A and B are shown apart, each in its own frame.
Chain A
């Protein structure tokens, strides 16, 4: 059972990182400023 908790914990941590990547992508995509 503890194995399952640990796997869920790892998956949650990577899920959080994925969510953070998506947030960063939104920040980078903000329209103000100069772009080529």
Chain B
């Protein structure tokens, strides 16, 4: 029954990839289409309002500076609101101002689409902060990622000097994708008993006579964009394990679909941009294969249970239910874990700290690879980066000038790609080492041995991959962890995006080489295998030692 549930959800995702990918293509292809009649007037009004007269294409550098500048402004506004929230309106619970290093961490976290939370939403933020900072950035960070991915695809598939207009893409991502989808999902979740109110927290008297405060608020609206934007920051500290955020298996499916469908549809949209749908299916197929392998690992590992618990004589026939919600069980918990770390959302419906060692390795590995669907745009960008690397390596092996989509891959593109690939492990492993070597870092580790190593590794991997889920168990709300993870999130987000936009800017100016019989094809089964192989080899070369010292050592110790 568990496997059947998973298969049905997988089948629905695969079926929806084509219509959604086609819609995304129509939104960003700038070709006239039916959606213009519906959304065009809103967009023109908005362009007029902000004085956006010039919507011509931008060079990659102008595009990169456009999204960086937008993010700087949003970060400044967000920081000011968090530091002054007690003086601002819509604060019925009297929440105090947020501490400076925690404000820095929160702002960088939500601006970079990471949504790592070192605070409890229900007690650390006013309703105004939840809406004006958290929810607002959930929209803008997702739209930024989506826009950059589309610009990257335009760079690979079009000719000229420009990769599109950032501000136009940014507005369209809001008006045609995230806002309509968020309204729909909010209404659906509210209908399924998720609270949506501005009333203060409820105060009730229990049967024993004690007074209890029950936090409520605009939960449904936050939940919708939290998943649609692959954000992940929950209204409550327990995130999607909380019964108000995710009350039933049905809401669990709605939340998984919300975070999964848009990233899954992007490879198909890429195929349409490339005028070769097979290209898109090859990328999608590689992502799905890796996903299924990881999902199977976490599902069967959790189903097998924890041998240490069984050794105590406790019945573990239901599998490892520690840290999981009974209403979801193993299948919907394992699937949620795989989806949230594949789509780099970071929302959790079970505690990843209490996953079995091999089960816990899965979210860690998916975030380390950061190509299995990925967050808004990041997964596609990274997978195409590996595709170009794969083409380059194959070119070296057969002594042929590598080409991707008819463009020659040269030293300049490989320099940028190598930088992007190396930065990711560096910003995970170097801060992890610093944390182990300093008392400020060591003080937060609550478990000795391999599990403690996994906790630290997970925190930085989640930050670098802009995922945001926590392994939990780490006492991370300290200035040291707030600042360290804040910097990792910023570098993890912007360095690879800028490098890949530069690759797009370089490729868009190149002459296309006509296809010949000797051209190395990138839309067939062989390339699908090469793509998966490249991802796994690079991932193993960079992260295998740390994985062996963490989850694998823990697994071997359990026996």
Whether B79 and A6, one on each chain, are in contact in the complex, defined by CB atoms closer than 8 angstroms, is yes
Whether B499 and A30, one on each chain, are in contact in the complex, defined by CB atoms closer than 8 angstroms, is no
What is the interface residue range for chain B against chain A? Answer: 35 or more
Whether B75 and A10, one on each chain, are in contact in the complex, defined by CB atoms closer than 8 angstroms, is yes
Whether A34 and B411, one on each chain, are in contact in the complex, defined by CB atoms closer than 8 angstroms, is no
* Complex CA–CA separation, A10 to B490 (angstroms): 9
Whether A21 and B61, one on each chain, are in contact in the complex, defined by CB atoms closer than 8 angstroms, is yes
* Complex CA–CA separation, A26 to B107 (angstroms): 31
Whether A20 and B83, one on each chain, are in contact in the complex, defined by CB atoms closer than 8 angstroms, is no
Q: Is B159 an interface residue (CB 8 A)?
A: yes
Whether A17 and B411, one on each chain, are in contact in the complex, defined by CB atoms closer than 8 angstroms, is no
Known A7-B79, A13-B490, A33-B408; judge A27-B502 contact (CB<8 A): yes
Enumerate A1-36 residues with CB–CB distance to B below 8 Å: 2-3, 5-7, 9-10, 13-14, 16-18, 20-21, 24-25, 27-28, 30, 32-36
* Complex CA–CA separation, A33 to B494 (angstroms): 27
Contacts of A18 in B (CB 8 A): 65, 68
Whether A25 and B502, one on each chain, are in contact in the complex, defined by CB atoms closer than 8 angstroms, is yes
Identify the closest chain A residue to B411 (Cβ).
Answer: A32
Q: Is B495 an interface residue (CB 8 A)?
A: yes
Partner of B502, one of A3, A7, A24, A34: A24
* Complex CA–CA separation, A6 to B60 (angstroms): 30
Whether B495 and A17, one on each chain, are in contact in the complex, defined by CB atoms closer than 8 angstroms, is yes
Whether A14 and B505, one on each chain, are in contact in the complex, defined by CB atoms closer than 8 angstroms, is no
Chain A binding surface SS class: helix
Contacts of A17 in B (CB 8 A): 68, 490, 494-495, 498
Contacts of A6 in B (CB 8 A): 79, 100-101, 103-104
* Complex CA–CA separation, A2 to B100 (angstroms): 6
Identify the closest chain B residue to A29 (Cβ).
Answer: B412
* Complex CA–CA separation, A5 to B486 (angstroms): 13
Whether B412 and A30, one on each chain, are in contact in the complex, defined by CB atoms closer than 8 angstroms, is yes
User: How many Cβ-Cβ contacts under 8 Å join chain A to chain B?
Assistant: 86
Whether A3 and B83, one on each chain, are in contact in the complex, defined by CB atoms closer than 8 angstroms, is yes
Whether B108 and A10, one on each chain, are in contact in the complex, defined by CB atoms closer than 8 angstroms, is yes
* Complex CA–CA separation, A35 to B61 (angstroms): 18
Contacts of B159 in A (CB 8 A): 36
Known A2-B100, A33-B412, A36-B511; judge A28-B498 contact (CB<8 A): no
Whether A21 and B498, one on each chain, are in contact in the complex, defined by CB atoms closer than 8 angstroms, is yes
* Complex CA–CA separation, A9 to B410 (angstroms): 36
* Complex CA–CA separation, A2 to B482 (angstroms): 13
Whether B498 and A34, one on each chain, are in contact in the complex, defined by CB atoms closer than 8 angstroms, is no
Identify the closest chain A residue to B505 (Cβ).
Answer: A28
Q: Is B510 an interface residue (CB 8 A)?
A: yes
Among A2, A20, A35, the one with the most B-chain Cβ atoms within 10 Å of its Cβ is: A20
Identify the closest chain B residue to A3 (Cβ).
Answer: B100
Q: Is B506 an interface residue (CB 8 A)?
A: yes
* Complex CA–CA separation, A23 to B101 (angstroms): 30
Whether A24 and B100, one on each chain, are in contact in the complex, defined by CB atoms closer than 8 angstroms, is no
Contacts of A32 in B (CB 8 A): 410-412
Whether A14 and B104, one on each chain, are in contact in the complex, defined by CB atoms closer than 8 angstroms, is no
Identify the closest chain B residue to A16 (Cβ).
Answer: B491
Chain A nearest CB: distance from B481 CB in Å? Answer: 14
Contacts of B509 in A (CB 8 A): 35-36
* Complex CA–CA separation, A29 to B416 (angstroms): 12
Whether A21 and B510, one on each chain, are in contact in the complex, defined by CB atoms closer than 8 angstroms, is no
Enumerate B504-539 residues with CB–CB distance to A below 8 Å: 505-506, 509-511
Contacts of B75 in A (CB 8 A): 10
Whether B68 and A14, one on each chain, are in contact in the complex, defined by CB atoms closer than 8 angstroms, is yes
Chain A nearest CB: distance from B292 CB in Å? Answer: 35
Known A27-B415, A28-B60; judge A13-B408 contact (CB<8 A): no
Chain B nearest CB: distance from A9 CB in Å? Answer: 7
Chain A nearest CB: distance from B504 CB in Å? Answer: 10
* B404-418 interface code vs A (CB 8 A; 1 in, 0 out): 000010111001100
Whether B61 and A25, one on each chain, are in contact in the complex, defined by CB atoms closer than 8 angstroms, is yes
* Complex CA–CA separation, A2 to B499 (angstroms): 32
Chain A nearest CB: distance from B422 CB in Å? Answer: 13
**Can you list 28 residue pairs at the A/B interface with Cβ under 8 Å?**
A2-B101, A5-B100, A9-B486, A10-B104, A10-B107, A10-B108, A13-B108, A14-B490, A17-B494, A17-B495, A20-B498, A21-B68, A21-B498, A21-B502, A24-B501, A24-B502, A25-B502, A28-B502, A28-B506, A30-B412, A32-B410, A32-B412, A33-B408, A33-B510, A34-B510, A35-B509, A35-B510, A36-B159
Given contacts A5-B100, A10-B104, A18-B68, 11 further A-B contacts (CB under 8 A): A2-B100, A3-B100, A6-B79, A13-B490, A16-B491, A21-B65, A24-B499, A28-B416, A28-B506, A34-B510, A35-B509
